[in-house]
Structure 1
Amino acid sequence: MSRWGDAARLAVGTLTTVPVPPPRVIDRRVAGGAMVLAPVAAVPPALAAGLIVAAGDALGLPAFAVAALALGAVALGTRGLHLDGLADTADGLGASYDREKALDVMRRGDSGPTGVATLVLVLLVQAGALSGAITHGHGVPAVVLAVLCGRCVLSLCCAKGVPSARPEGLGATVAGSVPVVAAVLVFVLAAGLAATAPGLPWWRGPLAVALGYVVAALLLAQCIRRLGGITGDVLGGCVEVAVAAALLTTATP
């Protein structure tokens, strides 16, 4: 029980702004547990986004503005962690085919033109897709499902066999820390629960989860090929592209 308690504290403390006591122990088992519990830690920002969508819809506000506010609330609730990771990953992949140079660019922390352009484009896709879901009357389940799906893919990105690009940092702590069986179980549970999402056809939710995983897996594979493994930034990038894919799947009637 103490292991899962520490894992929960690590997941919430790392992935959200919710204040929690620090884990008593941080090792690979705890790190793996935190990645498995990432969707649970994301429930507060997901619900906040859902409430904003519901309120904006009730007040008759423009769908795109409501979508932007909801996504902004998620970013605030997660310290913009994943958005920063997306920008840094794009900068690294776009900077050089040399692995060390790419990792150095990602380590700097500032955003170059490639990172900024990628960030803007992905946010536009997310907001546009969510506004479509709002227009068609299922914005609340769409945003909640997408935010949680984005965090579910973290267990895939940290599954056993996935290497770390660096010997230090968040990536080194969580890389390969999730048993494959656990990663598969997270996907199955996510797809199963998504089938019960209110306001969506039973198949739409599982399809959104599946496409979120596919897009995240493609980015993950590219980062492993180009960078040699994952970093904390890569994890953030995978989260954001999975959210975008899931929202696109729910954007139509």
Structure 2
Amino acid sequence: MPAQPPPDNPSDPAGPRDPEDRLAPENPAAPSTFGDGLRLAVGTLSVFPVRPGTVDRRAGGRAMALAPLVGAALGAVAAAVLAGALLTGASPLLASLLAVGTLALLTRALHLDGLADLADGLGSGRPAGQALDIMKRSDIGPFGVVTLVFVLGAQAAALAEASAAGHGPVALVAACVAGRLAITWACREGVPAARPGGLGALVAGTVRRGPALAATALCLAGLAVLSLAHHTGSLDLLAASGSASDRRHADHSPADQGGEDPPGVGEEADELVVRFENWVEPCPGPSCPPGPGLVVEDSGPSAFLVEGLLGGAPFPLLLAGLPFALVAGLLAASALRRRAVRRLGGVTGDVLGALAETAAAAALVACALLW
């Protein structure tokens, strides 16, 4: 009679140590529901306590399709921490470190642990079976340490850059959504599990292409609306932190001129004045703007919107800023996923965690470079 494998013992350093790794496919008497999938998504991807429901592959597919929703919730909490720290006078770097640390707490650092384990497994250069054994160990090797330092440093530095420009909270939400959407695509049909058992076996290949595309479209649309609301002033996340948009409008504020209206502004102070120069023909008079382009004179949200559409910061760039960051995160995660599947034969819980952190870091870097 063949020897039976030892029971899953959390104290065993060679055994699964992550709660998500002990999620194995079950054979429940009743099929899972949508609520079971949502509870599985929240319980697996966050520290928020939820009542366990039926756990099967159908619930796993729903959970991975709903992963971006959990990411948005995590991003909102971390963004509130970031904005609060900035409003109390903390430097962008310190506030960013607090926000990144908050995300680690909200996820029980499981994604970071998966990132370190995957780095050790891939960096070992061993065959797939031995690399998977390395990833199951409780210790972290040099590849894992260096990767953690680099990715966390990139996240904090890029978030600090975005915060200094006044876009930190929305960039953080976009990064969290990108990280969880990367998990959705990693669990699509055709992507195998690297080993039987664990989270990888439960969710690998459970997300159909249609739900994955629908989740992506909703994420892109939601981030476009968030980007537009932020840049038009509908979101006042950094009212007291000296954001770029606040400084722009402060230059035209009547309060800066002793409470008196600027010359030439009367009852029509809110009326938008647009002057073109050198668009059709050279400006003939001395009152022309100093350079070619468009001048918008108004301090309201409508003026800022039109200014972005026709001049200054291009409106399409404002609208597509966060969606572009989402795409950048997905591309980075896709490259890492292909590498992991080629080397390990499929995905595991560690691979999914590594994809989330990689996509989030790439999205934050994209936001820092774009804005």
Q: CA deviation at 1:148?
A: 1.6
- Given that 1:45 and 1:73 are in contact with CA atoms closer than 8 Å, whether structure 2 keeps it comes out as no
Name the SS of the counterpart of 1:225 in structure 2: helix
Cα distance in 2, alignment partners of residues 98 and 65 from structure 1 = 41
Cα distance in 2, alignment partners of residues 192 and 43 from structure 1 = 13
Of 96, 102, 116, the residue aligned with 2:145 is 116
Q: How does 1:4-15 map to 2 (within 5 A)?
A: 4-15=34-45
2:132 is matched with 103
- Given that 2:32 and 2:59 are in contact with CA atoms closer than 8 Å, whether structure 1 keeps it comes out as no
Number of residue-to-residue matches in the alignment:
252
2:61 is matched with 32
- Give me the TM-score of the superposition, normalised by structure 1: 0.96
Query: What per-residue deviation string (whole Å, max 9, x for no partner) do you get for residues 202-251 of structure 1?
Result: 11111111111101100000001000000000000000000001101111
Query: What per-residue deviation string (whole Å, max 9, x for no partner) do you get for residues 41-98 of structure 1?
Result: 2343212211111112212211111101001001101100100000000000001241
**Which amino acid in 2 is paired with 1:18?**
F
2:277 is matched with none
- Given that 2:32 and 2:55 are in contact with CA atoms closer than 8 Å, whether structure 1 keeps it comes out as no
Q: CA deviation at 1:113?
A: 0.5
Query: What per-residue deviation string (whole Å, max 9, x for no partner) do you get for residues 96-150 of structure 1?
Result: 2411110010011321000010011000000000000000001110111111211
**Which amino acid in 1 is paired with 2:350?**
D
**Which amino acid in 1 is paired with 2:109?**
G
Cα distance in 2, alignment partners of residues 168 and 176 from structure 1 = 14
Cα distance in 2, alignment partners of residues 225 and 67 from structure 1 = 35
Name the SS of the counterpart of 1:42 in structure 2: helix
Of 25, 47, 50, the residue aligned with 1:20 is 50
**Larger % of helix: which?**
1
1:86 is matched with 115
1:214 is matched with 331
Which runs of structure 1 show a deviation greater than 6 angstroms over 4 or more consecutive aligned residues?
A: none
- Given that 1:50 and 1:70 are in contact with CA atoms closer than 8 Å, whether structure 2 keeps it comes out as yes
- Given that 1:194 and 1:206 are in contact with CA atoms closer than 8 Å, whether structure 2 keeps it comes out as yes
1:199 is matched with 230
1:45 is matched with 74
Q: CA deviation at 1:2?
A: 5.7
1-10 or 205-214, which moves further after superposition?
1-10
Cα distance in 2, alignment partners of residues 185 and 111 from structure 1 = 37
Instruction: From the CA coordinates, give the structure whose radius of gyration is larger.
Output: 2
